[in-house]
Amino acid sequence: MTNPNSIVAIVPAAGVGSRMQSQLPKQYIELQGKTVLEHSLNKLSRVDGVHHILVAISATDDYFHSLELNTDIVKTVIGGKERADSVLAALDALADNPPQWVLVHDAARPLVDVTDINNLVKQCLQSGEGGILAAKVRDTIKRGDDYVHETVPRDQLFQALTPQFFPYQALRQALTQALAEGVAITDEASAMEWAQHKVRLVCGRSDNFKITTPEDLQLANFLLAQQVTELL
């Protein structure tokens, strides 16, 4: 039976981050005294209503269990080859005692603002609809290949961020069906859109970026230092 008003956070963390050019998966690189993943988990643990976090890790992960985490709150499940596979594995693992809602967050987004997450959760619970954190596109966008084909109007363009917050049952069904039919799923919202569900856009901070390259790592280290200073 679904627990009323319950929220479980899911963190897909089974990737290797090949573009980082590092011997470590990017979620285990250390910034400001903690790994990227630890920073992300600490943010989620401070979200109103989140009392359990399920991390989808690789079957060959040799790093996770060396982290100092509250194992009463943080649990693991073996993830899959792609992000969607890992999220679905976590959803399936919750099937015997499912939450009402799930909050899915990238392991490599340690800069997310807890106030933004709480706002996302509040708006979605009030409307009864799932939604995502998103940032308005600020730069001029060009479509093309070697040459510009057109300038794309940006007034209705958003950059999808995480967390993404959806009803458990609806997201599990959408991901299951989409993957079974070979649909390309880039995030949870794309599965929900494919299944004809409304997805609410909730504006969040644009510095909530996903660490992908060495340059991202340098910027994240600087910004995390500022966040640590603000908390002191």
pTM of the full predicted structure? 0.93
Query: In the predicted model, what is the mean pLDDT of the chain?
Result: 93
In a domain, 132, yes or no: yes
- Where does the pLDDT of residue 2 fall: very low under 50, low under 70, confident under 90, or very high at 90 and above? very low
- Where does the pLDDT of residue 23 fall: very low under 50, low under 70, confident under 90, or very high at 90 and above? confident
Q: Are 78 and 57 in contact (CB under 8 A)?
A: yes
Tens of pLDDT along 221-231?
Answer: 999 998 866 66
Query: Mean pLDDT over residues 28-52, rounded?
Result: 95
In a domain, 12, yes or no: yes
| Residue of 205, 49, 171, 173 whose CA lies nearest to 121 | 49
- Where does the pLDDT of residue 186 fall: very low under 50, low under 70, confident under 90, or very high at 90 and above? very high
In a domain, 30, yes or no: yes
pLDDT of 19 > 70? The answer is: no
Q: Domain containing 47 — which CATH number? A: 3.90.550.10
d(C-alpha 41, C-alpha 31), whole Å = 14
In a domain, 232, yes or no: no
In a domain, 7, yes or no: yes
Residues in CB range of 16: below 8 A, 6 or more apart = 25, 58
User: What are the φ/ψ torsions at residue 65 (nearest 5 degrees)?
Assistant: -75, 0
pLDDT of 16 > 80? The answer is: no
Query: Mean pLDDT over residues 111-126, rounded?
Result: 97
- Where does the pLDDT of residue 22 fall: very low under 50, low under 70, confident under 90, or very high at 90 and above? low
CA distances from 98 to 1, 125, 168 (A): 7, 17, 7
What torsion do the CA atoms of 186, 190, 192, 196 make, to the nearest 10 degrees? -150
pLDDT of 1 > 60? The answer is: no
| Residue of 54, 61, 48, 67 whose CA lies nearest to 6 | 48
Q: Are 79 and 85 in contact (CB under 8 A)?
A: yes
Of 82-96, 103-117, 171-185, 209-223, the least confident: 209-223
In a domain, 231, yes or no: no
In a domain, 36, yes or no: yes
pLDDT of 139 > 50? The answer is: yes
The confidence score (pLDDT) of residue 76 equals 97
Question: In percent, how much of the chain has pLDDT > 70?
Answer: 93
Provide the residue range defining the domain that includes 30.
3-226
Enumerate the β-bridge partners of residue 53: 9, 74
- Domain count within the chain: 1
d(C-alpha 173, C-alpha 178), whole Å = 8
The confidence score (pLDDT) of residue 71 equals 86
CA angle 206, 210, 216 (to 5 degrees): 95
